[in-house]
Amino acid sequence: MADVTGFPEFQSGMSLTSVERAVSEFRAARPVLVLCRDTAVLVAGVEGLEAPLAAALSHAAIATPRLVLPAARLRRLGLERTTPGSVALPTIDLKRIEQLALQIEAKVDAPVAPVVPLDETALELARIALTVPAVLVVPVNPADPALGFIERVQAVDVASFRSQAAKHLRIVGRAPVPLEGAPETEFVVFRGGEGLRDQVAIMIGKPDVSAPVPVRLHSACLTGDLFGSLKCDCGDQLRDTVEWMAKNGGGILLYLDQEGRGNGIANKMRAYKLQSQGWDTYDADEVLGFDLDQRRFDFAAEMLKQLGITNVDIMTNNPVKIAAMREAGLHVVSERRVIGRPTRENVRYLASKRERAGHFIDTDALVARLTAGE
């Protein structure tokens, strides 16, 4: 007789699910209890942190709470740092937290301690949740009855979440979607990978998979892809790639849920606001606590493998994407550059990508095109 006492199939993937639940709580500005052997901390983001929650956290604390900040933010606060650190908070003072985590001209006002593993977990939670990377970590007693209703997650599950999510990618739907200029196109939707939504492989034409297949990894850019923002070249890159693939025997465009270089749309808008005040694309991100690029591409390589691709003709200017495909075991046979139209608003952005992140972009040629009014 079948075993009717339990639901064994529900066990598989539970560690992923527990992190997903914790991330939902965290995004809703509710604290999460993170456990590592005998140690427990409440973790709360600085976004949405208000006085009643601050008071409850102080009340539950069994040792001094701390504010954990990433290296990028500490550099903005005036320290030479390549690793995250924490600042003790004898009282949970919202104004001081706001200053240390977000204010533009703030300087660090207290000693910065090296992080412990639970601090790293707290930052990782904020990263997965796509919130501002600044977190309050409050040591607590996990048996405290006041914490009974709070979502609990194991630190080890948070730490392995992103690589697990890459491994658990699976196709959940596919259908033909004829596109203008590329009528023979199929959309293949994958669940898993990065971000909070699904990933889509757009199969244009019928590429010969025995030869190197033209592939573009395209990170979502709502403003550029959909609305034609002049601030970047994403919309052109997207449409030009589809058109090129349709005319040249087909290819695969991976549309990846990595808005804002993996920082999420809200942080991208925070960065755009800073850019409107004169900051460049990378410095604006650093003010918010982000390093150059938060994206991983291991799951994109996994999508290609599941589609039966091993040899790739990659369409990108980004050396990190190329290295990631090689590292994941794909054979990058050739490379093509993909440059959109230069605009007065995007030329500085493109130059920064070349100067700061080593993208293969000929900015002199772009400036010449812009001046010639192309």
Ligand X SMILES: Nc1nc2c(ncn2[C@@H]2O[C@H](COP(=O)(O)OP(=O)(O)OP(=O)(O)O)[C@@H](O)[C@H]2O)c(=O)[nH]1
- Residue ranges that bind ligand X, judged by CB under 6 A: 218-221, 232, 234, 237, 258-261, 263, 268, 271, 281, 285, 316-318, 321, 338, 359
Question: Nearest Cα to 312, choosing from 214, 218, 221?
Answer: 214
Between 83 and 227, CB nearer to Zn ion: 227
Tokens 């034409």 locate to 205
Question: 258 contacts which partner out of ligand X, Zn ion, none, CB within 5 to 8 A by kind?
Answer: ligand X
Instruction: Establish whether 219 is an annotated binding residue.
Output: yes
Instruction: Establish whether 261 is an annotated binding residue.
Output: yes
∠ CA 21-295-362, rounded to 5°: 160
Q: At its nearest, how many Å lie between Zn ion and the CB of residue 346?
A: 9
Question: 118 contacts which partner out of Zn ion, ligand X, none, CB within 5 to 8 A by kind?
Answer: none
Q: What are phi and psi of 188, to 5 degrees?
A: -120, 115
Instruction: Establish whether 154 is an annotated binding residue.
Output: no
Q: At its nearest, how many Å lie between ligand X and the CB of residue 218?
A: 5
Sign of CA dihedral 159, 20, 103, 59: negative
Between 166 and 339, CB nearer to Zn ion: 339
Rounded Cα gap, residues 249 and 245, in angstroms: 6
Q: At its nearest, how many Å lie between Zn ion and the CB of residue 285?
A: 14
Question: 97 contacts which partner out of Zn ion, ligand X, none, CB within 5 to 8 A by kind?
Answer: none
Rounded Cα gap, residues 87 and 81, in angstroms: 14
Q: At its nearest, how many Å lie between Zn ion and the CB of residue 353?
A: 11
Between 86 and 281, CB nearer to ligand X: 281
Residue 283 annotated as catalytic: no
Instruction: Establish whether 352 is an annotated binding residue.
Output: no
Please identify which of the residues 293, 296, 298, 313 carries the catalytic annotation: 293
Between 39 and 352, CB nearer to ligand X: 352
Rounded Cα gap, residues 151 and 28, in angstroms: 12
Question: 285 contacts which partner out of Zn ion, ligand X, none, CB within 5 to 8 A by kind?
Answer: ligand X
Contact 22, 109 (CB under 8 A): no
DSSP strand pairing (311-315 vs 331-336): parallel
Spatial neighbors of 322 by CB under 8 A, at least 6 apart, are: 314, 316, 332, 335
Instruction: Establish whether 281 is an annotated binding residue.
Output: yes
Give the start-end residues of each E strand in 32-81: 32-36, 39-45, 66-69
Please identify which of the residues 66, 76, 81, 295 carries the catalytic annotation: 295
Question: Nearest Cα to 353, choosing from 328, 316, 318?
Answer: 318
Please provide the DSSP assignment of 219-278 as one string: E--IIIIIT--TT-SHHHHHHHHHHHHHHTT-EEEEEES-GGGGT-HHHHHHHHHHHHTT
Q: At its nearest, how many Å lie between Zn ion and the CB of residue 117?
A: 35
Instruction: Establish whether 36 is an annotated binding residue.
Output: no
Contact 46, 135 (CB under 8 A): yes
Between 131 and 263, CB nearer to ligand X: 263
Residue 293 annotated as catalytic: yes
Cα 289 to its chain centre, rounded Å, is 13
Instruction: Establish whether 131 is an annotated binding residue.
Output: no
Between 150 and 292, CB nearer to Zn ion: 292
Q: At its nearest, how many Å lie between Zn ion and the CB of residue 218?
A: 10
Binding residues: 216-221, 232, 234, 237, 259-261, 281, 316, 321
Binding residues for GTP: 216-220, 237, 259-261, 281, 316, 321
Active site residues: 293, 295
Binding residues for Zn(2+): 221, 232, 234
